[in-house]
Amino acid sequence: MKRRVGAVVMYDGSGFYGYQGQPELRTVQGVIENALERIFKYRVYTHAAGRTDAGVHACGQLVVFDCPNPRMMNKDIKNAMNANLPPDVYVRYVIDLPPNFNPRSEVYKRIYHYYILNTEHPNVFMRNYVWWFPYALDLQAMRKASEFLEGEHDFTAFRKSDSDDKRNPVRTIYRIRVIRMRGGILLFRVEGKSFLRRMVRNIAGALVKVGVGDWEPEKIKEVLKTRDRSKAPASAPPNGLYLYSVHF
């Protein structure tokens, strides 16, 4: 009987061409499967709860695979993986899952965090981990705008423009929070069941458009109704985005 496990993984996306495996490119899936191959002596294929883009980070990515050794303890799987992974990927813990568990369909909530460094001067040590934005932002306006994105909507206007993703563009966002933190950090926390390609980054870009006063908050509702990507602003850069956690 196969034994399915889930590894909760964090990674620094700066040195990767995204999560999903691609020939000849360094990806998170690729280095994880290479590590598993060194441990078990043959290729073990994995499935993840989210396919993050190049430069995007994760604190709580769920990576699911069938463990070839049914007697191996979860802590030993964790330790073996970390011993074979590069320093920019780390397994936080390993859990047992039902034999047919599919992370793409059985995760009911994904939480993304987007961080902006809203200060006059950049912090060069944080350049790969936040979007430095030196202009004043109106938090109240952004919070009001975010309310128009909550609930079930057609998010075609907020998907990747040249995406070959043919999935249903109707998605549900449970909640968006706009939080001012210490040190000039601004956090967008976006909670939903699932997301389209680049959707969270496009939402972040639109909220900043409201924050600087170029758009009134109600403009978000208008753009949603157009279902036209060209009516929304450019994507926020990838380095501020984190897959924070998944719930199943």
Q: Which residues are catalytic?
A: 53
Q: What is the CA radius of gyration of the chain?
A: 19
Phi/psi at 151 (5° precision): 95, -170
Query: Which residues are registered as beta bridge partners of 173?
Result: 151, 192
Phi/psi at 210 (5° precision): -70, -45
- Quote the tokens at residue 223: 């753009």
The DSSP element (H or E) to which 191 belongs, if any, is: strand 185-192
Using the structure block, give the residue that is written with the tokens 């170029």. Answer: 214
DSSP letters spanning 104-131:
HHH--EEEEEEEEE-SSS--GGGTTTSE
